[in-house]
Amino acid sequence: MKTVVSVRLARASMAVLVAASFVNVTSCATSRTAGWEKKVEVGAVSKADLKKKKTEALALWKKRIDQAELEKSLKLFEEVANQDPADVETMTYLCRGYYFLADGHLTDNEKKKSTWETGTAWGERALATNAAFRKKVKDEGKKIEEALDTLTAAEAPAIYWTASNLGKWARLSGLPTMLGNKNRIRLMIERVEKLKPDYFYGAVPRYWGAYYAVAPSFAGGSLPKSEENFQKSLKLANNYFGTHVLIADTLAPKKGDKDMFKKHLEFVINGKPESLPDIVPEQIVEQRKAKKMLDKMAEYF
């Protein structure tokens, strides 16, 4: 019973976040330093050595289902990024990699929170490789959300993973911090939607699907809109397991639909991670989530 209540309270807290989407709550919010403001000390490294390190990092990245291999990969990516402030690709790998480290491997919430903050910082550094964006946020002191219009399709992946890290970090930092970052995250997703609407296996409609499922009706929530967006995401990449898990986690309980819950989780559990070769590790993590959720089905209904 205690576990059931805790799961329902967690879901309720997310509903409160979305319901308060028009409330300006910043008191007691956890603050952080933007990635481009963090000082980095580097030494001289030849271009040949940098290229070698990046090649090694990419090879280790393919083994990211193993936490130790992922951490080695991230260490090398950091060494490369610290030497080349214009390498948006490497910084984006770091942003995405730290997200995956926390989401797929870590269990302690404080470690997750710290790791997602690190991912956010690397994402912000990636965004700041865009000169127009950097001018606005550094020279003119504007907020990220006021500079998003300068970002291009080249930075779209970094925008998405920065928003993903920021959202996870904010949730673990408490309600005021969630509310203080909600608008920025929403606007970042909207920018990705404009630049790369089909990015990462239907990530944008997947986000809106969860958003409309969690939000109360008076704050814009809509189960039909949720289902419509999830279907858009599935149409883009039906074999991406994360969408099915998110449907089971957000939409199915809201509808009180146990069959929907089981259908999507069983699809994931019985699926083949290799159906999407580039993201087999992420697929395996989603299978693990699906098994745990199905075992605790009573906590969702």
pLDDT digit string, tens, across residues 259-301:
999 999 999 999 999 999 999 999 999 999 999 999 999 999 9
Q: Could you tell me what percent of the chain has a pLDDT over 90?
A: 81
How confident is the prediction for the chain on average, in pLDDT? 91
Calculate mean pLDDT across residues 220-244.
Answer: 97
The pLDDT value given to residue 28: 60
Least confident of 44-48, 102-106, 124-128, 293-297: 44-48
Q: Tell me if 206 sits within 8 A of 228, measured CB to CB.
A: no
Least confident of 42-46, 99-103, 203-207: 42-46
Task: Name the residue type at position 49.
Answer: D
pLDDT one-digit tens code per residue, 10-33: 454 444 444 444 334 444 667 788
The pLDDT value given to residue 19: 42
Res 4 pLDDT > 50: no
CA distances from 71 to 100, 228, 236 (A): 11, 38, 31
Confidence class for position 178, pLDDT limits 50, 70, 90: confident
Core vs surface per residue 58-72: b (16+ CB within 10 A) or e: eebbeebbeeebbeb
| Residue-range domain boundaries for the chain | 223-301
CA 74: distance to chain centroid? 17
Confidence class for position 138, pLDDT limits 50, 70, 90: very high
